[in-house]
A and B are shown apart, each in its own frame.
Chain A
Amino acid sequence: MIRIENITAGYLQQEVLKDVSCNIDNKDFFGIIGKNGAGKSTLLKVLCNLIKPYSGNVTIDNKNINSFLKRDFAKIISFSSQHIDISMPFTVSEFVMFGRYPYMNTLKIPSKNDYVVIDNIMNSLNIKNFAERKINKLSYGERQKVLIAQVLAQETNIIVFDEPTSHLDIGSQNKILEILRDLNEKYNKTIVLTLHDLNAAGEFCNKLTLMENGSICSCGTPEEVLNCKDIERVYNTNVVVKTNPISNKPYVIPVSRIKELRR
């Protein structure tokens, strides 16, 4: 269980998170939603110990994240950002192999086992056929799969994703989220991710957090969080919230020209 307690954090002198607290249970599919600049990514970075908060604590199973060795921490929680640096393009298999680094010796020479692990992962995600292609020559959907493979190679119980579905079409988006749901349901991984698509968030996550201006506005099941009032206020627009007749999950439709219609 991840406990985020009274986190205040930011970059240089600009405070982005203000006294944020929330809990993430084991095996949660935990989605963070909110406007651009609300502090979603910053919260993920604090959780992964990438930036030090000004105050507050993050604990994983009652252990403060600062008390872990870097290498041990990398075996518990893996992080994938939306951004891939392609200034030095690696091949897909080299790229996935980075996920095995926490398990390697000082000079990071891969062992036979490391090759077996990444082979299995690439097979299970159906990316083995372009294992020797360069990462910058892939489509966004393929890249996202490679990022998942890299994270899986790390074999952690907690997987943190920063916007895994940005730039994806609706089909690829569903595919990626289904892979993550499989990991969550079949392999009991805790998934923490930020999303922009409220409908995808409502459909796939079992818990949602809505952030606003660096603090948490509401936290709970999709039914609780995706209510018309909060969404309209946070996103400053007009919406209708309905229930999906097949999955019984809430979905959100934006409404334009509502004033004219009301007249």
Chain B
Amino acid sequence: MINKKYLIVYLLMPVLIIAVFLFSLLIGSNEMSFFDVIKSLLGNTDENIVAIIKNIRFPRTIMACITGAGLAVSGCVFQAILKNSLADPFTLGISGGAVFGAVTAFVSGLATITSFFIPLCSFVGVILSVLIVYLLSMYKKFDPNAMILSGVVISYVFSSAVMLMFSLSPSYSIHAAFVWLMGSFSMIDERFLPFVVFVVLSGIIILSLSGNIINAISLGGEKSKTIGLNIERSIKILFIVASFITAVTVSFCGIIGFVGLMIPHIMRKIVDTNNIILIPACAFAGAIFLPLCDTLSRALFAPVLIPVGVITSIIGGLFFVFLLFKSERNI
């Protein structure tokens, strides 16, 4: 039983990642054959194709993989430490901070100077919101309910601030901000790619290794405090690591909803609650799901590119309805 789970996670899923990766490189506005893709990865073919693959599709697909993995893992960790299966990477107000920062960049005109200001501002926004939620939770000794409540409050405060800015600014900057809000991989600067990959990957590795400690936290109650663990300190560290992963991905790709909520749910059905296997499983599943959605978003209404956030949210929404009815039947 256990072996089967490990087989699925460590063998089947990496194969699927590679398949989705190649599929993602193959699909786009320029038609090309499967062999062209393979050849261009190996380095010998038509220069045009190499340029498209290497400079556009490859970074984009990598970014989609790493973002999907990061969001799924941080969602899974938030669900475990908050002991709430409705939590996701954005429950604790991260989205509010990110949107606030990014919209500030658009509205103030910083975004028109250089696009680098968008991720920078949104990152600063996230750090601000995480800091506030952290301080509020610290006051309540990192009680899950207090953390969720402070996250929700911060989200509201920031989104009101965003609404205020929208109502005071010209419509062209609002449109650009709206597109960013929906989440997209089309504006990625590939120079940041190594940084993002490094940060998110190390975060995922830390969280995967902490699986057993996360288990103890979601065990909850008084018992978790009597098995020699400093629960409060562990929650602090996990909260910071998971927030940081989300912060980095959100700053570059915008708010991509539902990945962090639905992937942990699906994987929990497949490999169960134990976080030591669940977290790597979520990482792989996120790295399969998001490039797939991104490819769909490019292909479905080609040549129009629709934001990937729209695709994930539609699929996520349908999945959620399904989950709701299924669990009702179980009762």
Contact between chains at A88 and B226 (CB < 8 Å): no
| Residue B1 interfacial (CB < 8 Å) | yes
Contact between chains at A88 and B273 (CB < 8 Å): yes
B272 contacts across to A, CB distance below 8 A? 91
B80 contacts across to A, CB distance below 8 A? 88
A88, A89, A91, A99: which contacts B227 (Cβ < 8 A)?
Answer: A99
| Residue B236 interfacial (CB < 8 Å) | no
Q: For chain A, residues 57 to 110, give those with C-beta under 8 angstroms from any C-beta of chain B.
A: 70-75, 77-81, 83-85, 87-91, 94-95, 98-99, 101-102, 104, 107-110
A110 contacts across to B, CB distance below 8 A? 212
| Residue B216 interfacial (CB < 8 Å) | yes
| Binary A-proximity of B213-230 (CB < 8 A = 1, otherwise 0) | 101101111111111111
Number of interface residues of A (CB under 8 A): 36
Contact between chains at B228 and A71 (CB < 8 Å): yes
| Residue A154 interfacial (CB < 8 Å) | yes
| Binary A-proximity of B1-40 (CB < 8 A = 1, otherwise 0) | 1000000000000000000000000000000000000000
Contact between chains at B228 and A80 (CB < 8 Å): no
Min CB distance, A69 to chain B, in Å?
Answer: 8
- Determine chain B's interface SS by DSSP, over half rule: loop
A85, A95, A104, A132: which contacts B221 (Cβ < 8 A)?
Answer: A85
Taking A79-B222, A94-B274, A132-B1 as contacts, is the C-beta distance between A88 and B83 under 8 angstroms?
yes
Contact between chains at B273 and A90 (CB < 8 Å): yes
Q: How far is the CA of A98 from the CA of B209 in the complex (A)?
A: 16
Which chain B residue has the least Cβ–Cβ distance from A70? B228
Min CB distance, B5 to chain A, in Å?
Answer: 12
Contact between chains at A90 and B223 (CB < 8 Å): no
| Residue B210 interfacial (CB < 8 Å) | yes
B216 contacts across to A, CB distance below 8 A? 98, 101, 108
B210 contacts across to A, CB distance below 8 A? 107
B212 contacts across to A, CB distance below 8 A? 101, 104, 107-110
Min CB distance, A189 to chain B, in Å?
Answer: 16
| Residue B145 interfacial (CB < 8 Å) | no
Min CB distance, A121 to chain B, in Å?
Answer: 15
A138 contacts across to B, CB distance below 8 A? none
Q: How far is the CA of A89 from the CA of B215 in the complex (A)?
A: 10
Contact between chains at B222 and A70 (CB < 8 Å): no
Interface centre among B209, B222, B272 (most CB of A within 10 A): B222
Contact between chains at B228 and A102 (CB < 8 Å): yes
| Residue B84 interfacial (CB < 8 Å) | yes
B274 contacts across to A, CB distance below 8 A? 90-91, 94
Contact between chains at B215 and A94 (CB < 8 Å): yes
Contact between chains at B213 and A107 (CB < 8 Å): yes
B218, B219, B221, B227: which contacts A154 (Cβ < 8 A)?
Answer: B227
Min CB distance, A146 to chain B, in Å?
Answer: 12
Which chain A residue has the least Cβ–Cβ distance from B1? A132
Contact between chains at B229 and A85 (CB < 8 Å): no
Contact between chains at A48 and B226 (CB < 8 Å): yes
A70 contacts across to B, CB distance below 8 A? 228-230
A35 contacts across to B, CB distance below 8 A? none
Which chain B residue has the least Cβ–Cβ distance from A86? B220
Q: How far is the CA of A81 from the CA of B222 in the complex (A)?
A: 7
| Residue A143 interfacial (CB < 8 Å) | no
| Residue A50 interfacial (CB < 8 Å) | yes
Min CB distance, B277 to chain A, in Å?
Answer: 11
Contact between chains at A79 and B85 (CB < 8 Å): no
Min CB distance, B264 to chain A, in Å?
Answer: 11
Contact between chains at A102 and B227 (CB < 8 Å): yes
Min CB distance, A50 to chain B, in Å?
Answer: 5
Q: How far is the CA of A80 from the CA of B221 in the complex (A)?
A: 10
Q: For chain B, residues 193 to 237, give those with C-beta under 8 angstroms from any C-beta of chain A.
A: 209-210, 212-213, 215-216, 218-230
B223 contacts across to A, CB distance below 8 A? 79-81, 98, 150
A132 contacts across to B, CB distance below 8 A? 1
A88 contacts across to B, CB distance below 8 A? 80, 83, 85, 218-220, 273
Taking A74-B228, A75-B228, A88-B80 as contacts, is the C-beta distance between A98 and B213 under 8 angstroms?
no
Min CB distance, A184 to chain B, in Å?
Answer: 20
Taking A71-B228, A98-B216 as contacts, is the C-beta distance between A89 and B273 under 8 angstroms?
yes
| Residue A52 interfacial (CB < 8 Å) | no
A74 contacts across to B, CB distance below 8 A? 226-228
A154 contacts across to B, CB distance below 8 A? 227
| Residue A45 interfacial (CB < 8 Å) | yes
Contact between chains at A108 and B225 (CB < 8 Å): no
Min CB distance, A56 to chain B, in Å?
Answer: 20
Q: How far is the CA of A74 from the CA of B218 in the complex (A)?
A: 19
Q: For chain B, residues 58 to 110, give those with C-beta under 8 angstroms from any C-beta of chain A.
A: 80, 83-85
A102 contacts across to B, CB distance below 8 A? 227-228
Which chain A residue has the least Cβ–Cβ distance from B278? A88
B215 contacts across to A, CB distance below 8 A? 90, 94, 98
Which chain A residue has the least Cβ–Cβ distance from B226? A79
Can you list the 7 inter-chain pairs with the closest CB atoms, starting with the nearest?
Answer: A74-B228, A85-B220, A71-B228, A108-B212, A102-B228, A101-B227, A88-B218
Q: Can you name 11 A-B pairs with beta carbons within 8 Å? A: A45-B222, A48-B222, A78-B226, A79-B222, A85-B220, A88-B273, A90-B215, A101-B212, A107-B213, A108-B216, A154-B227
